[in-house]
Structure 1
Amino acid sequence: MARWAPDTKERLREAAMQLFTERGFEATTVPDIVERAGVTRRTFFRHFADKREVFFSGDEIPRLAARMLADAPADMSPFSIAWTGLQALAADRFEPRRDEIAAARRVIDAEPALRERDLQKQADLRAVLVEGYLARGVESLHARVVAGVAVELLQTALERWAADGSGTPLREHLERVRREMAAVLG
């Protein structure tokens, strides 16, 4: 088995996703993943704490959100900052990985432990946004509401986009969900 290769983490992710799709999350073991990826068990654990982390390690969105809030013009409204960031994420991070994200979404939706971890990721992002808004001087309730709306908007649009076989871009799903949320909120 290969001791090291520059694409090892990605190979492990690809092998895991193939197996999760073929067999299901619970039926797939770490030995199955390392065998498919052609690496050792030790190599797997250098990159991931456990098989759940194949989905959740290296999530850079909270870091990007914190940077976006820190760099935004002082006069930009809290929601405008979030909206600009969501559109950039859609174009730069999500669209190029549509098939991978849709497959991951199906596996996550089918596994309660993964759904729980996904909800924790959403809560972590919300907390980063609230912290960033508070640092900008946004009132606490407003910071919590805008952060909550932004995370829910992203999650709902991602779920629709991943389930949509028509190829509609994520940015269009974001816009639809934003309009629907605005209509609901009056």
Structure 2
Amino acid sequence: MGRWEPNARGRLEQAAMELYTERGFEQTTVAEIAKRAGLTERTFFRHFADKREVLFWGSRTLQQHFVDAVAGAPDSAAPIDAIAGAIEAGAALLQERRDYARQRHAIIAANAELRERELIKLSWLSAALADALRRRGVTEPAADLAAEAGIAVFRIAFERWISTSAQSDFPQLIRESLEELKAVTAGR
């Protein structure tokens, strides 16, 4: 086995995604993923805690990116605008991975356990955003409301982004969804 070949994580991720798509998440084993990637199960577990983490390993990176963007927002930015800048920046990171995002979404949508895990990760992301706002001096309930609204905007824009056949721009869909939210809350 080519366990010392470069990009083991990427090869494992690709193998897992192929197998999850072909056979389903529940029917795929770690041994099969490792074999398809030309690696050992031990190598798999060096990179991922379990087969679910193949789908969720990037959430910490995305969370840190969001938090850093909130921290870097201008001091004069309203809480929702700091959140909007963060989720738009996160969308820009994902823009080039649209096909992967579609595939990942389909795998998660087909499995209740994975849908639950996705909701937990989004909840953690919202909590991290709210904490970032509190560090900027935003009080309650504004910090939690802005963070939750931001995650809702992100989810709605994401669904639109992966479901359209045209090469839509994810950050633009974030901006449009945020404008829709503002219109709804303004009573227009």
Scaled by the length of structure 2, the TM-score of the pair is 0.93
1:125 partner letter: L
* CA drift at 1:99: 0.3
| Structure 1 Cα separation of the partners of residues 85 and 133 of structure 2 | 15
Greater displacement, 42-51 / 58-67: 58-67
* CA drift at 1:2: 1.4
Instruction: Give the unaligned 5+ runs of structure 2.
Output: none
Residue 163 of structure 2 corresponds to 163
* CA drift at 1:22: 0.9
Q: Where does 1:5-154 land on structure 2 (aligned, <5 Å)?
A: 5-59=5-59, 60-91=61-92, 93-154=93-154
Greater displacement, 24-33 / 56-65: 56-65
Residues 128-181 of structure 1: CA deviation (Å, up to 9, x unaligned): 111111111111100011000001100111122112122211123223322322
Change (3 A) 1:112 1:100: same
1:180 to 2:176 alignment = no
The RMSD of aligned alpha carbons is 1.3
Instruction: Give the unaligned 5+ runs of structure 1.
Output: none
Q: Is the 8 A contact 2:2 2:38 kept in 1?
A: yes
Q: Is the 8 A contact 2:69 2:85 kept in 1?
A: no
Provide the aligned length of Structure 1 versus Structure 2. Answer: 185
Q: Provide the secondary structure at the position in 1 that maps to 2:99.
A: helix
Matched-pair identity in %: 39
Scaled by the length of structure 1, the TM-score of the pair is 0.94
* CA drift at 1:27: 1.1
Change (3 A) 1:70 1:178: closer
